[in-house]
Amino acid sequence: MNIEKRVTELVEEKIADKPGLFLVSVKMQGSGKLVILIDGDTGLGIGDCAEVSRHVGHHLEEENLIPDAYNLEVSSPGIDTPLTLPRQYVKNIGRQVAIKTTDGGKREGKLLSLTADHVLIEEKIKTTGKKAELVESAIPTDTIAETKVLISFK
């Protein structure tokens, strides 16, 4: 059985009674590190990570799915991890984001909303000789290569 598929099932099973939590990704790295990223609509507690870790670890041992030594890491996506799921976009509405488009372009602005086919941001557009203006821009989701939340230390 595919390890990542089984781990995904185990995580979904564990968080089924917590509708505010969701699975972002499961990756088995060649180094023997199994990385599970979970997130929450209103945040994620260390206890949630520990519960998922215990549940998954217990079943992996019981089912002997990974014959070699492995490290299990359960956490929320780091701030440098790109947004991949619609729920992550919704959770970050109101925050500043940097978007790389598939044509190599870069856009920055406040995330306003997400629809099935585009992301709406408010960005500063500077035209020659004029003051920068705030403009709402719709960016088609199929042209987005990567979106990251920007952190301000001001």
Distance CA 20, CA 23 (A): 11
Task: Kindly report the CATH number that applies to the domain delimited by 3-75.
Answer: 3.30.300.70
What gap in Å lies between CA 53 and CA 23, rounded to an integer?
13
Percent of the chain at pLDDT > 90 equals: 73
CATH 3.20.20.100 for domain 86-149, yes or no, is no
Average pLDDT over residues 47-64: 93
pLDDT of residue 112: 97
* Angle between helix 3-15 and 46-63 (nearest 10): 130
30: confidence class by pLDDT, cuts 50, 70, 90: confident
Q: Can you read off the two tokens belonging to residue 57?
A: 């670890």
- Provide the pLDDT for residue 82: 95
- State the span(s) of the chain assigned CATH 3.30.300.70: 3-75
Confidence band, pLDDT 50/70/90 cuts, at residue 1: low
Indicate where the chain has its CATH 2.30.30.100 domain(s): 86-149
Give the chain's mean pLDDT: 92
Give tens-digit pLDDT for 77-113: 988 899 999 999 999 999 999 999 999 999 999 999 9
pTM of the full predicted structure? 0.81
